[in-house]
């Protein structure tokens, strides 16, 4: 019979070899080194670095473009500042002149108003001896309007009371162009030599109910200026 120690020794010697898993790991490492396969991480890093460098170069180009644009903007800004300084200088020179011009304009405005008043007064005085006759048919007095009106005034308007110097200096229709058919006749402006005869004619015309020539009503008015009218 074998001793128990001998049995235990045999059992121990049978368990000495390493586990299969450890041996398999060593074999895989050796196979990788034998096949010459390197880890893939260095290649990925190189590609990423190239991409970053390319992106940086593009950014540098864009930065150069932006810098150029900024330089142009700065140059334009300097020009605008210089022009503004010139304008401010010119304005400083023109402001006193503007004040003087404003004063002159106010004085001229007053002067024009005064001259308009004088012209209006002079025109009114020049029209004092005038009569405005409205409604006189176009065909009447065609040959000699002055002679026709003198005869008509003596016969129909003021048969008595006119001065011995009664006469019309001139007479004309306004406007100069004849009216179209169907339009009312043009007014007549008649100038008398004596203003007293003019006033007497106006008074007599107001007293009469109507004055007619060929079934056309004729009215006599003072010849006022447009402003007075």
**CA dihedral (222, 223, 224, 229) positive or negative:** positive
**Residue 162, phi then psi, degrees to nearest 5:** -70, 150
Q: Measured in whole angstroms, how far is the alpha carbon of residue 202 from the centre of its chain? A: 53
Contact 155, 166 (CB under 8 A): no
Say yes or no to pLDDT of 14 above 90.
no
Contact 167, 192 (CB under 8 A): yes
The model's pLDDT over 135-146, given as tens digits with 9 standing for 90+, comes to: 999 989 889 999
Q: Does domain 130-222 have CATH number 1.20.120.10?
A: no
User: What is the Rg, in whole angstroms, of the alpha carbon atoms belonging to the chain?
Assistant: 61
Contact 124, 185 (CB under 8 A): no
Indicate the domain borders of the chain.
Answer: 130-222
CA distances from residue 52 to 24, 40, 62, 65 in whole angstroms, order as listed: 41, 19, 15, 20
Contact 133, 198 (CB under 8 A): no
Per-residue confidence (pLDDT) for residue 65, from 0 to 100: 87
The model's pLDDT over 32-80, given as tens digits with 9 standing for 90+, comes to: 444 455 555 677 788 888 888 888 888 888 888 888 889 989 999 999 9
The model's pLDDT over 151-191, given as tens digits with 9 standing for 90+, comes to: 999 999 998 899 988 999 999 999 888 888 889 999 999 99
The C-alpha atoms of residue 163 and residue 133 are separated, in whole angstroms, by 20
The C-alpha atoms of residue 50 and residue 57 are separated, in whole angstroms, by 11
Asked whether the whole model's pTM tops 0.95, one would answer no
């Amino acid at each position: 019979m074998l001793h128990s120690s001998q049995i235990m020794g045999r059992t121990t010697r049978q368990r000495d070899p390493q586990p299969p898993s450890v041996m398999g790991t060593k074999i895989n490492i050796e196979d990788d080194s034998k096949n010459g396969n390197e880890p893939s991480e260095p290649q990925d890093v190189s590609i990423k670095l190239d991409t970053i460098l390319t992106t940086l170069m593009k950014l540098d180009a864009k930065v150069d473009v932006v810098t150029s644009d900024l330089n142009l903007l700065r140059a334009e800004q300097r020009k605008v500042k210089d022009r503004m300084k010139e304008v401010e200088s010119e304005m400083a020179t023109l402001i006193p002149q503007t004040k003087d011009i404003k004063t002159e304009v106010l004085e001229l405005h007053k002067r024009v108003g005064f001259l308009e008043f004088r012209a209006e007064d002079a025109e009114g005085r020049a029209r004092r001896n005038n009569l405005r006759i409205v409604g006189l048919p176009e065909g009447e007095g065609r040959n000699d309007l002055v002679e026709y009106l003198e005869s008509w005034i003596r016969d129909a308007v003021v048969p008595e009371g006119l001065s011995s110097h009664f006469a019309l200096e001139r007479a004309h229709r306004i406007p100069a162009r004849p009216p179209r058919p169907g339009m009312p006749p043009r007014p007549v402006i008649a100038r008398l030599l004596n203003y007293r005869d003019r006033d007497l004619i106006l008074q007599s015309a107001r007293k009469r109910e109507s004055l007619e020539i060929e079934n056309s009503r004729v009215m006599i008015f003072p010849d006022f200026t447009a402003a007075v009218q």
